[in-house]
Structure 1
């Protein structure tokens, strides 16, 4: 029976950028489907024992400043530790992803990565409508979804937050399989693949 992955993530998360399109490759290798669930991570943190980067201890911030560029280099990805437009409002890009998933017809994995690249590699504002429309178009979706999907996107975005909190999601990226296995972080994608394949 084909597996399914619920993918909870924030478009503000550098670790989602570092994940690239490896989730999609793993799903394809194992015949699994993916439901993309953008969440408001800043609203989720206080509900699940987390803290926003701005509130973290200097020791944690210092480690983050070393680890992110290190991981990006290992993965061969261009990366700005402090991009010009971060943090920004994650809602518009999240609404667009939700609208695109509802509409179909394009590549959702590419859309997510286009948005992440715009922020962390190209230093663009992913709350800007032109940036979102370009990301949609490049991934094969109607760029007008950035406008038409606002209402449904807002409702689903709120529902995703409640679902995430109820199901034990506490960070981004976070993957939950149909068998209830949970994986937190882009560095656990290999384990996710092994679980889907029945090796773990």
Structure 2
């Protein structure tokens, strides 16, 4: 019997990118389908998070993500531009956000076309791994979308004029994440049990094996 797991994902989450190769390996090696469910990053869902959090946390985060990347052997850089516009000195989030809504809509559309994993892989590798500067300009996003087997112009045509439906889909994903018992990303949810963080992938695999998941032949 094939198994399914939901992957709640943000286009601004470095840890989402850092787990990507292992998510791909899960789906490649096991009789498993990963359902990509994009959500807005915490900076958009809870704008006061960064201004309220202990000031040591952002510094620890920056140290940790580069350390994790080195440990697992993947390239890593902070994206330019950042998918979320943020004043790093004041840790405030402007209401005007030129990137994150577009990206999350595209993630929803890619998932609806059965190419969610391919899209988040191609995009996250471009901004976090390859460190493409100015990824929002020129053909960078178009090319990454093509590597996922999709057409950017066709996807954006489907989205245009239907933004409310995409907002509703994102809200549905965010509500499902909270209903499963968490709020952060990346989170795998298997049978309503959440496994938060790229450091809980092996534990989620263990649980799915308990449920009878088999390796692909």
TM-score by length of 2: 0.76
The unaligned stretches of length 5 or more in structure 2 are: 85-98, 212-217
The equivalent residue for 1:119 is 127
- Structure index of larger Rg: 2
Q: Retained in 1: the 8 A contact 2:180–2:194?
A: no
What is the alpha-carbon distance in structure 2 between the residues aligned to residue 55 and residue 37 of structure 1? 27
Change (3 A) 1:136 1:83: closer
The equivalent residue for 2:94 is none
The equivalent residue for 1:186 is 198
What is the alpha-carbon distance in structure 2 between the residues aligned to residue 93 and residue 128 of structure 1? 13
Change (3 A) 1:37 1:145: farther
Q: Secondary structure at the match of 1:37?
A: strand
What is the alpha-carbon distance in structure 1 between the residues aligned to residue 197 and residue 4 of structure 2? 18
The equivalent residue for 2:55 is 58
Aligned counterparts, 1:59-74, within 5 A? 59-74=56-71
What is the alpha-carbon distance in structure 2 between the residues aligned to residue 78 and residue 44 of structure 1? 28
The equivalent residue for 2:92 is none
What is the alpha-carbon distance in structure 2 between the residues aligned to residue 137 and residue 87 of structure 1? 20
Change (3 A) 1:164 1:124: farther
Give the length in aligned residue pairs: 192
TM-score by length of 1: 0.82
Q: Structure 2 residue aligned with 1:143, among 136, 149, 152?
A: 152
What is the alpha-carbon distance in structure 2 between the residues aligned to residue 73 and residue 165 of structure 1? 31
Aligned counterparts, 1:145-160, within 5 A? 145-150=154-159, 151=162, 152-160=165-173
What is the alpha-carbon distance in structure 2 between the residues aligned to residue 127 and residue 161 of structure 1? 25
The unaligned stretches of length 5 or more in structure 1 are: none
